[in-house]
């Protein structure tokens, strides 16, 4: 299959501005993929309802994510850029896939177990069936590649299970098996700055955002957790320091990283210098996106036009899939 025939799809929830984790785990790959593949990128607003946003916040956040997609380089002429709730076909497929999704496998999903722990007062059915809705997003366009960060691996595995199971129950080949995708040989996990093994995340409250000013970035990086310093030449960096190196590897030139790694290995490193350099390099990376975002977010007409065009293209593809699905199930002849 040629790359142009390969369908790429991914989505991001409108739960706050995007951070470095979203950028390196997802958005940067979207931009690279759009030249050679048929791409669908969307804003997963249904998925964000599990935490009950106010209407004002939801509306505002959807527009901000749309502007961030554009600011980061998604070209609506090359990719289909749309809002999930503009494509009702997704909901019909969600209902149909719900019939072949087993409660046991949904209850065993790590993200569901995390949510039970984090929000015990709001364990709604939408949380349990979150992977079914995500599989519908993916399968509605019969996607092959899904660029996501490491944390979405298990959800992707379920989408593959549902594609296989649907094809087998209805003795058809409607759905290809979608694969999680990253450039390089592994899915990315950008760490937070709080010195733990956790990821940088919107809900984790440890994000460096694509909309942060140079000053915001500097403050956040200078506050990053470190350790008391290396004591032996050549020792392996502790987790908080490794996290800083991991981010540096993404945003800084390779010789900057090797400079500080060498200083660490020789026990001459000063964390203040490392952080200053890191903050500067993050800012250099983010500044052009932040500036474009500032212009685009004020252009309401552009945002509405992009959403309307995307909606039309996404619905055309979605309804073609649904037509086949309805046929193999037996609704139509």
Catalytic residues: 115, 199, 202
148 token code pair: 């996501």
> 76: part of which helix (H) or strand (E)?
none
Give 10 or 80: the residue with its C-beta nearer to ligand ADP.
10
Residue 269 touching ligand TRP (CB under 6 A): no
For residue 274, state whether it binds ligand TRP (rule: CB under 6 A).
no
DSSP-derived pairing of the beta strands 179-181 and 145-147 = parallel
User: Is 15 near ligand ADP (CB under 6 A)?
Assistant: yes
Q: What is the dihedral of CA 231, 236, 242, 246, to 10 degrees?
A: 140
74 belongs to the binding site for ligand ADP (CB under 6 A): no
What is the β-pairing status of strands 179-181 and 38-43?
A: unpaired
Distance, CA of 246 to CA of 260 (rounded, Å):
12
Which listed residue (71, 200, 269, 296) binds ligand ADP by CB under 6 A? 200
Instruction: Tell me whether strands 80-83 and 145-147 are parallel, antiparallel or unpaired.
Output: unpaired
Q: How far is the CB of 195 from ligand ADP (least distance, A)?
A: 15
The H or E element containing residue 8 is strand 7-12
* Cα 210–Cα 211–Cα 217 angle in degrees, nearest 5: 80
Q: Tell whether residue 208 is a contact of ligand ADP (CB under 6 A).
A: no
Least distance to ligand ADP, CB of residue 275, Å: 19
Q: Pick what 176 binds: ligand TRP, ligand ADP, none; C-beta below 5 to 8 Å, kind-dependent.
A: none
d(C-alpha 205, C-alpha 183), whole Å: 27
211 belongs to the binding site for ligand ADP (CB under 6 A): no
- Contact in structure between 74 and 41 (CB atoms under 8 Å): yes
Contact between 50 and ligand TRP per CB under 6 A? no
Q: Considering the complex, state which of residue 124 and residue 319 has its C-beta at the smaller distance from ligand ADP.
A: 124
Q: Which of residues 133-152 bind ligand ADP (CB under 6 A)?
A: 148-149, 151-152
Residues 5 to 34: which contact ligand TRP by CB under 6 A?
9-11, 13
> Of the two residues 9 and 322, which places its CB atom closer to ligand TRP in the complex?
9
CB of 256 to ligand ADP, least distance (A): 21
User: Which tokens is 325 given?
Assistant: 């699905």
Residue from 39, 44, 67, 87 that binds ligand TRP (CB under 6 A)?
Answer: 44
CB distance 286 to 58 below 8 Å: no
Rounded Cα distance between 180 and 148, Å, is 6
Torsion, Cα 89 95 100 106, to 10 degrees, reads 110
Neighbours of 109 (CB within 10 A): 18
> How far is the C-alpha of 70 from the C-alpha of 89, rounded, in Å?
25
- From the list ligand TRP, ligand ADP, none, pick the one residue 189 interacts with, judged by a Cβ distance below 5 to 8 Å according to partner type: ligand ADP
Binds ligand TRP (CB under 6 A): choice among 137, 188, 206, 310: 137
22 near ligand ADP, judged by CB under 6 A:
yes
Residue 199 binds to ligand ADP (criterion: CB under 6 A): yes
Binding site for ligand TRP (CB under 6 A): 9-11, 13, 44, 47, 134, 137-138, 146, 148, 152, 155
Binding site for ligand ADP (CB under 6 A): 12-13, 15, 21-22, 24-26, 148-149, 151-152, 188-190, 199-203
């Amino acid at each position: 299959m040629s790359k142009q025939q390969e369908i790429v799809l991914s989505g991001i929830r409108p739960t706050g501005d995007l951070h470095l984790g979203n950028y390196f785990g997802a958005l940067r790959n979207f931009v690279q993929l759009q030249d050679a593949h048929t791409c669908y990128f969307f804003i997963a607003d249904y998925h964000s309802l599990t935490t009950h946003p106010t209407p004002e916040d939801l509306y505002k956040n959807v527009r901000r994510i749309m502007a961030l997609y554009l600011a980061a380089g998604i070209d609506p002429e090359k990719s289909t850029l749309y809002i999930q709730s503009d494509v009702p076909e997704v909901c019909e497929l969600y209902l149909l896939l719900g019939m072949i999704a087993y409660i046991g496998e949904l209850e065993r999903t790590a993200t569901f177990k995390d949510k039970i722990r984090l929000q015990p007062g709001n364990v709604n059915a939408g949380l349990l069936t979150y992977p079914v809705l995500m599989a519908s997003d993916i399968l509605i366009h019969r996607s092959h590649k899904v660029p996501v960060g490491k944390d979405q691996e298990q959800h992707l595995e379920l989408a593959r299970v549902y594609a296989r199971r649907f094809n087998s129950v209805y003795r058809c080949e409607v759905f290809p098996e979608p694969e999680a995708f990253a450039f390089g040989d592994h899915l990315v996990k950008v760490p937070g700055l709080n010195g733990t093994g956790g990821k940088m995340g919107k809900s984790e409250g440890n994000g460096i955002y694509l909309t942060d000013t140079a000053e915001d970035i500097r403050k956040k990086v200078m506050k990053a957790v470190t350790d008391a310093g290396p004591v032996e030449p050549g020792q392996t960096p502790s987790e908080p320091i490794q996290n800083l190196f991991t981010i540096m590897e993404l945003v800084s030139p390779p010789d900057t990283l090797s400079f500080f790694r060498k200083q660490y290995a020789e026990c001459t490193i000063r964390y203040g210098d490392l952080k200053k350099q890191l903050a500067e390099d993050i800012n250099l990376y983010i500044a052009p996106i932040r500036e474009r975002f500032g212009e685009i977010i004020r252009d309401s007409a552009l945002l509405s036009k992009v959403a309307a065009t995307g909606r039309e293209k996404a619905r055309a593809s979605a309804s073609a899939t649904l037509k086949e699905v309805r046929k193999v199930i037996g609704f139509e002849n």
